[in-house]
């Protein structure tokens, strides 16, 4: 196993501060379940979300946005077309973009869509272990959107995928791993309750797109993960259940790094 | 009027405990308003939600899921096609499935869609009194998604529909009634504030699908209703308004039956 | 500059009281991000929301509804068709309707859609300064959904648009301005945190549609704005961040005007 560098909280706070100054226009093409929470996470943390999804609009918008998220969580045929147009435009305009391959491996259609999206070379791919393994072309253990695999198991697949595509791959789990094919960064922390609220992983992908407006993808993915872990830990300490957790999580995201 | 059996809380807690052990993969094709809350309710209570909606994916996914919800709340022509494919696949694979005929009777298109869905014999139909009366083919008093009829009024229509289709029909209201055409079970409790939060009824349909993974439909519908009433009462006691109610409701769902 | 009349809280409370008595069926065709929050705002305040979006259903429903909101936040080609059908039906049936031109000016497709919707003469147009300026046909400074322009700057454009179309135009900002082309009403108050929660502006458009069921459009827009400001101020006082703000805002909306 490679040496894994633990990402320092201080590094994450530097990137967060830069992101807040930029207030990056973050274009999200995401699923109907997580759209609201994703926009609220971006607003809480200081980014400027824009949920533009029509095939008629996405290319024009991805070109002017500072970052783009493409999340295939509830992708349909028509949305797949829009996602491909947006990804192509982002690539052409050098807008950093993040692919979130939700439940890839569990069903065929979205697996095909996600693989076509890879041709437009995302800056970052973020998923759980099962999704990353499936996307890399190997046999995974996906069951819906939850991961049947441990995040560490997926590291070799992530490295291979990152090298092959020329991207950064982030595996979310109890420990998050982020790799550009060579270096592997780990981010621990967070809390198990984060898996009991829908859209937390989806919102993390969006935050990576916002961070990528101000720093290189490897840093963006690691710092966004670290900020999520930090805010998640704090929120978990004061929330008695998943309903109050998601409220406290937004509150903590709005003040992380701003504490006196 | 038939004898109505009041469903015992102890029975509901037995089914809840089994559901939590199974953590059933619950496939939801639901409306854009309730999708997020529905997923959060399922996660809070211990099920594993998956919101897969594309016509290209639903049949494949319904076949591997443990339960399926089809909710016509914001159905369009394209989604109607996906719903019919999913229902057919569920029926073929013996995946228990729940039909929620939101606002059927108020507008024609969805009324036709819901009636076609009945051909695939849902395990459970859950709606308010107006919706159940309209779906049974009688003249109802539907005004949007709120019911103009009292739930007790709908019991004869529910029994007739249940017998004719071979399904369980659950009528939500101040008192919930659940019938397989012969027996009628009643579940009281809950709180009026539950009608001031969008998606509570929709999420109940999803919970019935999750419960149906582990027990027969009549029990599943009654126990899911009872768990909702219980958590709703507890949340209402501590919440000063509808915003804080939905937060407290998720918290209570996550701990109901786990109290020392 | 014209004299601006400050809208009295007492006037707003009169209209709120009438609206609660009517509990108007408020038909919303809105974006996937704000749909849930919008429905919860309407329920909290005492209206009856119905999110009916299919091209097959909207005309039938807009005709029986007491008010209609058309919000182009995530409009696609198919939804644009439904929106035009709904607006035409509302106009024909004298159902008051509100147009929310989200991000008009930032991308071309939705700008064209919004301009076509104007042909069906909305009762109220609600947007931020950039959106109103763009919709009026002048060069605006739109960047996604946030406004690059101050609300006062947009007043002359709003007056011109209101006169030309025969509508009421409401500009949301730190101060809200509402005009029928002649009178200009201002509503101050609210709190900056309202811009850190997604869908607050969208929900305000829906509330205007609900109010318009019971009073003329100018009053409806002003009173809805004033109620939002009042509830927003109260919620901001007790909420430590944007997550808890949106919870408290719903709670405050449910009790504003009912305080002993």
pLDDT of residue B194: 97
Q: Which chain C residue shows the shortest CA-CA distance from B75? A: C54
Structure-block tokens of residue B32: 């854009």
Helix (H) or strand (E) holding B48: strand B48-50
Query: Distance (Å, rounded) from C-alpha C13 to C-alpha C215?
Result: 12
Whether the CB of A157 is below 8 Å from some CB of chain C: the reply is no
pLDDT of residue B141: 47
pLDDT of residue A148: 60
A92/A260: higher pLDDT: A92
Which residues of chain C from 66 to 85 reach within 8 Å of chain B, CB to CB? 78
pLDDT of residue C72: 98
What are the pLDDT digits (tens) for B166-201?
999 999 999 999 999 999 999 999 999 999 999 999
Can you list the domains of chain A with their CATH numbers? 4-254 (3.40.1190.20)
How many other C-beta atoms can be found within 10 angstroms of the C-beta atom of residue B6? 12
Whether the CB of A244 is below 8 Å from some CB of chain C: the reply is no
- The shortest CB-CB distance from C197 to any of A40, A64, A246 is to A40
Neighbours of chain C (3+ CB pairs under 8 A): A, B
Segments of chain C with pLDDT less than 50:
1, 140-142
Q: Is the pLDDT of residue B144 over 80?
A: no
The three-point CA angle A240-A198-C200 to 5° equals: 90
Helix (H) or strand (E) holding C190: none
What are the pLDDT digits (tens) for B73-119?
999 999 999 999 999 999 999 999 999 999 999 999 999 999 999 99
Q: Which chain A residue shows the shortest CA-CA distance from C75? A: A54
Record the pTM.
0.96
Q: Which of B74, B60, B56 is nearest to A77 (CA)?
A: B56
pLDDT of residue A138: 67
Given the DSSP bridges, would you call strands C4-6 and C48-50 parallel, antiparallel or unpaired?
unpaired
Tokens 């391959």 correspond to A101
pLDDT of residue B146: 58
Query: Rounded to the nearest 5°, which phi and psi values hold at B145?
Result: -95, -5
pLDDT of residue B147: 64
Whether the CB of C114 is below 8 Å from some CB of chain A: the reply is no
Are B70 and B100 within 8 A, CB to CB?
A: yes
Q: Which residues of A54-71 are buried (b: 16+ CB within 10 A; e: fewer)?
A: bbbbbbbbbbbbbbbbbb
What are the pLDDT digits (tens) for A82-140?
999 999 999 999 999 999 999 999 999 999 999 999 999 999 999 999 999 999 986 54
Give the percent of chain C with pLDDT over 90: 92
Which residues of chain A from 1 to 60 reach within 8 Å of chain C, CB to CB? 25, 32, 35-36, 39-40, 43-44, 48-57, 60
Query: Distance (Å, rounded) from C-alpha C228 to C-alpha C63?
Result: 27
Q: Mean pLDDT over all residues of chain A?
A: 94
Q: Which of A8, A224, A7 is nearest to A123 (CA)?
A: A224
Query: Distance (Å, rounded) from C-alpha C201 to C-alpha C103?
Result: 12
C138/B240: higher pLDDT: B240
- The shortest CB-CB distance from B197 to any of C40, C64, C78 is to C40
* pLDDT interval class at B3 (50, 70, 90): low
Structure-block tokens of residue A90: 């982002």
Helix (H) or strand (E) holding C18: helix C9-22
């Amino acid at each position: 196993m490679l040496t894994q560098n633990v990402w320092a909280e201080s590094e994450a706070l530097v990137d967060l501060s830069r992101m807040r100054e930029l207030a990056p226009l973050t274009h999200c093409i995401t699923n109907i379940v997580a759209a609201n929470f994703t926009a609220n996470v971006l607003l809480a943390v200081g980014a400027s979300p824009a949920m533009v999804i029509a095939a008629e609009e996405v290319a024009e918008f991805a070109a002017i946005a500072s970052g783009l998220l493409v999340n295939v969580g509830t992708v349909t045929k028509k949305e797949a077309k829009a996602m491909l147009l947006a990804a192509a435009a982002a690539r052409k305009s050098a807008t950093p973009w993040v692919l979130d391959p939700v439940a890839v491996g569990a069903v065929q259609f979205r697996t095909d869509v996600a693989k076509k999206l890879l041709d437009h070379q995302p800056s970052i791919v973020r998923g759980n272990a099962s999704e990353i393994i499936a996307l890399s072309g190997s046999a995974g253990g996906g069951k819906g959107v939850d991961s049947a695999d441990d995040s560490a198991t997926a590291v070799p697949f992530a490295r291979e995928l990152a090298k092959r595509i020329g991207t950064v791959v982030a595996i979310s789990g109890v420990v998050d791993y982020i790799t550009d094919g060579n270096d592997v960064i780990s981010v621990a922390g967070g809390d198990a309750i984060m898996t009991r609220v829908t859209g937390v992983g989806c919102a993390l992908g969006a935050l990576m797109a916002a961070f990528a407006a101000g720093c290189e993808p490897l840093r963006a993915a690691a710092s966004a993960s670290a900020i999520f872990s930090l805010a998640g830990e704090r929120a978990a300490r004061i929330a008695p259940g998943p309903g109050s957790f998601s409220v406290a999580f937004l509150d903590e995201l709005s003040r992380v790094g701003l504490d006196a």
